[in-house]
Structures are given as structure tokens and as C-alpha cells.
Amino acid sequence: MSNLSSKASDEDALATLNELLERNHKEHHIYYNNHLFANHCAHTLITVHALGADSNRLRELYAAFDKILIPQEPRVAPITEANWRDFLGKDKYYQDYLDFFDAQLSTPDDIPRVMAAYGYSLLPYSIGNAVHPLIHLGFGIEFQRPLIVSEALAYTCIKYSPYGDLVEPEVTTGGDLSPFEIFEAIRLDPAFDTFPTDLRSKLSDEQVALVKTYLDKQHQISRRPSLLSSSRNPTPLHHDHDHNVTET
């Protein structure tokens, strides 16, 4: 293939990618199958294009996704700067949040401003739905795609996880336990048996305090023998004896 033909093919593939990402943005919801599965159409198209897929391959993949994805749901109420926090964690407002962020994200140059205004404060709460909002945001920023960033922020808003409250913006305390030891201590702590299995459930004040002990003050764990001795099977999750949890 000549250089001119190759360039034309590359430009055609890019134009197709842009077209299909916009169609997915306008036509499909961010998840499907009774709201259980995330829409991976954009991830797939962006990735295979970066790996050299041509227009035909992009259209084939889009057609496959189009068969399983669901359409956008009706708008409920306009989201504004004054009320955008009022509907966090409510699935039915996805299209409304999408409209809100779309209006502010016209070009890649808008991404830093919107991230500063909304995105960074939402980051700790993007772990809902198996961290897919954060994954989606990564694609949008890495490939400088305003539509994808808008989808990711809207996705974060509707899958807003209260567990983000546990993340401190700045952690200055150091720990004297390895990550392996911390996870083992958590596994052995019976207090975690009462925690909700639904990641969208709120934690009690006592549960929040317990988790923060592990997150922010790891050095205290080694001074709490009750956390490191339990009636449970004490077999470590790892086999490296250098990292076994021991009382001090």
C-alpha cells in the first residue's frame, strides 16, 4: 500500500471511530442487561483503533454491540450547577447528567477545566459498578475524548459510591505493615462480618472509623492484638512467611 493510500485509510478509520463513538454516546445507555453490565463499546472501539483496525472492523464491532446494548432512557429533570449533587447515586438521571456534562465538554481543551470543577472531587466515588466509571474516565482522558469524559462523569454520578467518603485527599501517616499484612488483618477481623455486601449501602459511623483505622493509621493495627488473633482459620492469604502478620 502506498503512503497516500495508507494515510487515506488511517483518516477513514479515524472518521469512522468518531462517528461510531458519537452514535454510541447518543443512542446507547452506559450499561445494559438489567443495569448489570457496563457498556464496553467505546473501550473496544478506541482500543482496536489504536491497534490499527480499519473502518470495516470498527463497524463490525459496533454492529455486534448494537445488538445487545439498550437505548438511552428518558430524561427526568435538568441537572444544573445548583442541583448536580442532589441526584447522586440515582440511576434514572444518567441522561440528565450526560446532558449537563456534554454542555461543558465541546473540545479536548475543556477537559482540564471540567475535571477541576467536578471530576477530581468525584474521583473517590468512581469505584462503584466494579470501578467501571473510573476505567471509562481513564479512556476519555488518555485519548482526549470529551464525549467519553462526559459519559464517565455521568456514570460516576449515578453509580456514586458512598465508600468514597473513606478516601482522604491527603494521607500523611505512615504505616509499618505491608499491604499483605493489612489485608490479612482485615480478613481476620470479625468486625467486618457485619458490613453490607451492597457497595451502595451506607456504613455506620463505627464501620467508617474501623475502615479508616486500616486505611490511614496502619501503624495502629500492629498494636491491636484483637485484630490479629481470631477464632477463624488463621491461614494467611499468602505463603511468604516474611509477610505473615504477627502480634507486637
Q: Give CA separation, 160 vs 119, 122, 166, in Å.
A: 12, 8, 13
Q: What is the pLDDT along the chain (248 residues), one digit of tens a residue?
A: 555 455 667 999 999 999 999 999 999 999 888 767 899 999 999 999 999 999 999 999 999 999 999 999 999 999 999 999 999 999 999 999 999 999 999 999 999 999 999 999 998 888 877 889 999 999 999 999 999 999 999 999 999 987 777 765 554 445 566 667 777 887 888 888 887 776 556 677 787 778 777 766 554 444 444 433 443 443 333 334 343 433 33
Q: In this predicted structure, what is the pLDDT of residue 49? A: 97
Domain ranges of the chain: 3-163, 165-243
Burial label, 67 (beta-carbon count in 10 A; 0-12, 13-18, 19+):
exposed
pLDDT of residue 52: 96
- What pLDDT does 199 receive? 58
The CA-based angle 107-5-47, given to 5 degrees, is 45
Q: Determine the pLDDT at residue 212.
A: 74
The answer to whether residues 161 and 128 touch, using CB atoms and an 8 Å cutoff, is: yes
